[in-house]
Amino acid sequence: MITGTPGVGKTAVSQFLASKLKAIHIDLTKLVKQEKLTSGVDKTRKTLIADMKKVSERVQDIIKSYEQDIIIDGHYSMNVLPAKNVYLAFVLRRDPEELKKTMETREFKNRKLWENLAAEILDVCLWDAVRACGADKMCEINVTSKTIEGVVEEIVAVLEEKRKCRVGIVDWLGKLEKDGRLNEFLKDF
Ligand SMILES: Nc1ncnc2c1ncn2[C@@H]1O[C@H](COP(=O)(O)OP(=O)(O)OP(=O)(O)O)[C@@H](O)[C@H]1O
Ligand SMILES: [Mg+2]
Per-residue pLDDT of the chain (189 residues; tens, 9 = 90+): 999 999 999 999 999 999 999 999 999 999 999 999 999 999 888 888 999 999 999 999 999 999 999 999 999 888 899 999 999 999 999 999 999 999 999 999 888 999 999 999 999 999 999 999 999 999 999 999 999 999 999 999 999 999 999 899 999 999 999 999 999 999 776
* CATH number, position 57: 3.40.50.300
Query: What is the number of structural domains in the chain?
Result: 1
Number of alpha helices (DSSP H) and beta strands (DSSP E) in the chain: 9, 7
The closest-lying atom of ligand 1 relative to the alpha carbon of residue 151 is: 1
Looking at the DSSP bridge assignments, the partners of residue 120 are: none
Q: Is 159 in the pocket of ligand 1 (CB under 6 A)?
A: no
Do β-strands 70-73 and 89-93 pair in parallel, antiparallel, or remain unpaired? unpaired
User: Cα(25) to centroid of ligand 2, in Å?
Assistant: 11
In which domain, by residue range, is 37 found? 2-185
Q: Measured between alpha carbons, how far is 155 from 89 in angstroms, rounded to an integer?
A: 10
For residue 143, the tally of other CB atoms under 10 A from its CB is 22
Residue type, 161: E
**pTM above threshold 0.85:** yes
Q: Is 119 in the pocket of ligand 1 (CB under 6 A)?
A: no
Q: Measured between alpha carbons, how far is 111 from 124 in angstroms, rounded to an integer?
A: 16
Q: Is 74 in the pocket of ligand 1 (CB under 6 A)?
A: no
